[in-house]
Amino acid sequence: MRTSSRPNTPRLRALIAGAALAALALAGASAPPAAAGPPEATIEHYSIEVWDCGYPMQVEGEVTSRFLTRPNPHGEGVLAQENIDFSETWTAADGDHFTLSARFLAKDMSVTSLGGTLYEATVQQSGQPFVISVDGQVLIRDRGNIRFSFRTDPESGYFEFLGADASGPHSGFGTDLCKLVAPITGNDSATHHTPRPLGTTAAGMGYYEYLPPSYGDGGSPLLVVANGIGENGDGSAEQLDWLLFTGIPRFIDVGGWPLNRPFVVLSTQHTEEPPGLPVDCGEGQWFGSCIMQAQHDLGHPPQSPCTTPDELHAFIDYAVANYGVDPARVYVTGLSCGGFSTWEYLGEYGDEQVAAAVPIAGDGRPMWGSVGCGLGEVPVWGIHGDQDFEVSPWGTTNTIEALRSCPGVTDDTAKLSIYEGVDHNAWDPAYSGALGDDIYSWMLSYTRN
């Protein structure tokens, strides 16, 4: 149920793309070579559309590699050495673009079988820097060594980045690629984004505040965002920045939030009191649903890992009283733990404060079991990935389908999107609109009487 595993995904993909090609080629071999193999050269061209920054960009890339393989003298698997030339051009819809390029040596790449077609690879990388440039003008140049690991299944396409250590002046390595290129392909939405640490306001939670350029022209719609468990913190200025790792706060921070979108956005941070819930859900499939059910059954105690309904209710009261927002156009959304929190809030408070809600990758079944059709007071759009193995997709599907059997509920007031092939992170495509859903227009189509 962690939600902050992808803070620098676009940047990391750029760093590992070339080496991953070699590792995949090695992993696809039926057995390690008995002796050093002859040099092999590959050229890979690709063209994809990405929404990593919150807006569409066309990526045209080429990786050229030349590599040698040999048995690993220290254990199973093989080692490889690869020389890589790498270049990608990212182009936004308006034609603005930037280029990622690199020339480096990846050495001692270790690829080990984990069973079946699943492999783990470790790569050490050194040499010419990674460069981000615009029409030949260098914006970022990284030098030095990087050691990183990942798991991959060449048959299914599964890929999991395991971590990296860097040495040298890697000025861009620890920064989200989208933030680095915001002045080129993004906008200045981050300049409208302000941290409000716990204790600096009358709110009972620390939060990030986004005020649109239109703020002050009349009552703005309000969107309250509940965080995932990976972004829990103590509300301090330091830990509040954990909210910027994912979801709507990240898109705002990297210049990917449209400036003409009229919402005041307040992204809250939940504080989880130790030592955690007195329940053992393990780490198996859908353990997140187990935790959510336990929090519901225990009545949302202080050690709850997810934002509680009372916290959201109190925060919305605070927001309406302290911001120039329209009380008839208040909306709530959340991802993972925050998606569950959204369901729980709707069950506790119905349409008392909000006009519509969008829970993403959360489990609504606990509250459905308690209040049934009472969840139907507020229009809700449930979103989930069908390959989510942390929180069960049935937590969204079953709840929405049950709601649709309630009096007065329609397919639009109990809306459902199940993203095919998407894992727990259904929020990036939902919040960016990458798969065609416009949750923002849908929310604005509803007002509270």
Domain that holds residue 124: 9-181
Residues 115 and 249 in one domain: no
Q: What is the CATH number for 215? A: 3.40.50.1820
Domain boundary (164, 181, 198) is at 181
Residues 144 and 231 in one domain: no
CB 179 within 8 A of CB 253: yes
Does some domain include residue 257?
A: yes
Does some domain include residue 2?
A: no
Domain boundary (166, 181, 196) is at 181
Residues 155 and 216 in one domain: no
Residues 101 and 250 in one domain: no
- Is the pLDDT score of 1 beyond 70? no
- Is the pLDDT score of 41 beyond 60? yes
Predicted local confidence at residue 242, as pLDDT: 97
Predicted local confidence at residue 15, as pLDDT: 44
Query: Which residue has tokens 């109990």?
Result: 414
Round to whole Å and give the CA distance between 71 and 62.
Answer: 28
Does some domain include residue 1?
A: no
Average pLDDT score over residue span 65-83: 69
Round to whole Å and give the CA distance between 256 and 293.
Answer: 34
CB 69 within 8 A of CB 34: no
Residues 267 and 416 in one domain: yes
Q: How confident is the model at residue 128 (pLDDT cuts 50, 70, 90)?
A: low
CA 241 to chain centre: 15
Round to whole Å and give the CA distance between 34 and 416.
Answer: 53
Average pLDDT score over residue span 360-386: 97
Which contacts of 111-115 are long-range, i.e. CB under 8 A and separated by 24 or more positions?
A: 111/23, 111/26, 111/27, 111/77, 111/78, 111/80, 112/75, 112/76, 112/77, 113/27, 113/76, 113/77, 114/151
Residues 118 and 165 in one domain: yes
Q: What is the pLDDT of residues 303-327, one digit of tens each?
A: 999 999 999 999 999 999 999 999 9
Does some domain include residue 169?
A: yes
Percent of the chain scored above 90 by pLDDT? 63
Q: What residues contact 396, with CB distance under 8 A and at least 6 apart?
A: 359, 361, 362, 363, 364, 382, 383, 384, 416, 418
Residues 85 and 227 in one domain: no
Q: What is the pLDDT of residues 230-272, one digit of tens each?
A: 999 999 999 999 999 999 999 999 999 999 999 999 999 999 9
Predicted local confidence at residue 75, as pLDDT: 67
Per the structure, the count of domains in the chain is 2
Instruction: Decide the pairing of beta strands 380-385 and 78-92.
Output: unpaired
Percent of the chain scored above 70 by pLDDT? 85
- Which of the pair, 31 or 244, is modelled with greater confidence? 244
Does some domain include residue 449?
A: no
Predicted local confidence at residue 285, as pLDDT: 83
Average pLDDT, the chain: 87
Average pLDDT score over residue span 185-195: 97
Residues 282 and 377 in one domain: yes
Stated length of the chain: 449
Does some domain include residue 228?
A: yes
Residues 166 and 252 in one domain: no
Task: Return the HEC string of the chain.
Answer: CCCCCCCCHHHHHHHHHHHHHHHHHHHCCCCCCCCCCCCEEEEEEEEEEECCCCCCEEEEEEEEEEEEEEECCCCCCEEEEEEEEEEEEEEECCCCEEEEEEEEEEEEEEEEEEECCEEEEEEEEEEEEEEEEECCEEEEEECCEEEEEEEEECCCCEEEEEEEEEECCECCCCCCHHHHCHHHHCCCHHHHEEEECCCCCCCCCEEEEECCCCCCCCCEEEEEEECCHHHCCCCCHHHHHHHHHCHHHHHHHCCCCCCCCCCEEEEEECCCCCCCCCCCCCCCCCHHHHHHHHHHHCCCCCCCCCCCHHHHHHHHHHHHHHCCEEEEEEEEEEECHHHHHHHHHHHHHCCCCCCEEEEECCCCHHHHHHHHHHHHHCCEEEEEECCCCCCCCHHHHHHHHHHCCCCCCCCCCEEEEEECCCCCCCHHHHHHCCCCCCHHHHHHCCCCC
- Is the pLDDT score of 13 beyond 60? no
Q: What is the pLDDT of residues 153-179, one digit of tens each?
A: 877 777 788 887 777 666 566 678 899
Predicted local confidence at residue 217, as pLDDT: 79
Q: What residues contact 66, with CB distance under 8 A and at least 6 apart?
A: 39, 40, 41, 82, 83
Does some domain include residue 4?
A: no
Find, among 204, 186, 193, the residue nearest to 243 by Cα: 193
Average pLDDT score over residue span 368-396: 97
- Is the pLDDT score of 301 beyond 70? yes
| C-alpha atoms less than 13 angstroms from C-alpha of 246 in its C-beta half-sphere | 27
Domain boundary (181, 213, 237) is at 181
- Which of the pair, 65 or 101, is modelled with greater confidence? 101
Does some domain include residue 271?
A: yes
Residues 90 and 174 in one domain: yes
Residues 430 and 302 in one domain: yes
Residues 198 and 173 in one domain: no
